[in-house]
A = this chain, B = another copy of it.
Amino acid sequence: MSKPRATLKDIATKLNISISTVSRALNDHPAINQKTKRSVKSTAKKLNYYPNLLALNLLQKKSNTIGVVVPEITSHFFSSVITGIQDILRPSNYNMIICQSEESYKDEVEIVENLMRVGVDGILVSPSSSTKNFEHFRRLKKSGIPIVVFDRDCPGLEVDKVLVDDYDGAFQAVDYLIKSGCKRIAHIGGPLNLSTTKHRLEGYLDALKENDIPIDKKYIKHVKGFTHEDGIKPAKSLLKLENKPDAIFAVNDCIAISAMYAAKMLKLKIPEEISIIGFDDEPHSSYFTPELSTVWQPVYSMGMLSARILLKRISNTDEKQKLREEIFKPELVIRASSKKI
């Protein structure tokens, strides 16, 4: 049924000319006769010929494919970054193999290994929350495959990086809460070996310090995952404390929404009794009641810039260009879940 795909040879045989002439004709090589070109092109069309990129890849030792490794793609955050990446890659004729580590170090190592084997020209990666060792990335770099780390930093790994100033975002949020009159500000943070999470915690702590508010460990909780379910328990336990907090700064919007949900279950008024601020500014966050205050980060731009840097690195391969580390600034978005100043 499916006749095998036409090759240059098929065209050459049909026209009784050599393969090289066919190749050159199709590529509009100047040394080829116009008539030949026309006849080649027309039979190419007739045979439904299109070049075999696998052969080309082998020849050029270049696959025009890049690998993208993320913890998961179901979150709005990563799917938006990926969209940004793709919008740069497509016009440059690069394809993208997306892989999810599912926050597993083991899977991540396997994925990187696999991407190396299939011959991607470069890799964009946001490491899993359980990744503490970066040897797999170093191996990659050593085999000449450029790599750009985005969002989640790998301290000590010498590669291009595109990050967000999480510390600043957290600081802004907590500082705002203090300025709006909150005294007992709690934080629900994420896994501690994630740079993002750690920096948000630090921003929280420093904002308190700078405003001379004592740090109280009972106001600090951590979640293992980033879904709604993960947030309910810590939020409830915070809100049931004797001297319960009057504000919660959550590590992301999902957790913040869980906190709102928990607060409502406990009949607490938001923001009168409890202010809540999240992180990420997901599209639906502004549709909750009350509308969620949060910290916006330029996800789409982050994806685009990461891809641009990677492409540049791929084309400038042997150059000893110095490493780039770009840090985007997040923005505090105040809505109705936090008191006005």
Interface residue ranges, A against B (CB under 8 Å): 1-5, 48, 50-55, 57-58, 61, 63-65, 72-74, 76, 79-80, 82-83, 86, 95-100, 114, 116-119, 142-144, 227-228, 254, 257-258, 260-261, 264, 283-284, 287-289, 317-318, 320
* Bound complex: CA A129 to CA B105 (Å): 38
Give the number of copies in the complex: 2
18 contacting pairs across A/B (C-beta < 8 A): A2-B143, A2-B144, A2-B317, A4-B144, A53-B117, A54-B58, A74-B79, A74-B80, A95-B118, A96-B97, A96-B98, A97-B97, A254-B284, A257-B284, A257-B287, A261-B287, A264-B289, A288-B288
Given A96-B97, A98-B98, A114-B95, CB of A2 within 8 Å of CB of B142: yes
Q: How far is the CB of A44 from chain B (nearest CB, A)?
A: 14
Q: Beyond A2-B142, A54-B61, A264-B289, list 12 extra A-B contacts (CB 8 Å).
A: A1-B144, A2-B317, A54-B118, A73-B83, A83-B100, A86-B99, A95-B97, A96-B97, A228-B283, A228-B284, A254-B284, A257-B284
Q: How far is the CB of A209 from chain B (nearest CB, A)?
A: 33
By a CB distance below 8 angstroms, the chain B residues around A58 are 52, 54-55, 58
Contacting residue for A82 out of B73, B143, B260, CB 8 A: B73
Contacting residue for A143 out of B48, B53, B97, CB 8 A: B48
* Bound complex: CA A225 to CA B157 (Å): 42
* Bound complex: CA A334 to CA B1 (Å): 50
Closest to A232 in B: B287
Closest to A93 in B: B114
* Bound complex: CA A284 to CA B72 (Å): 17
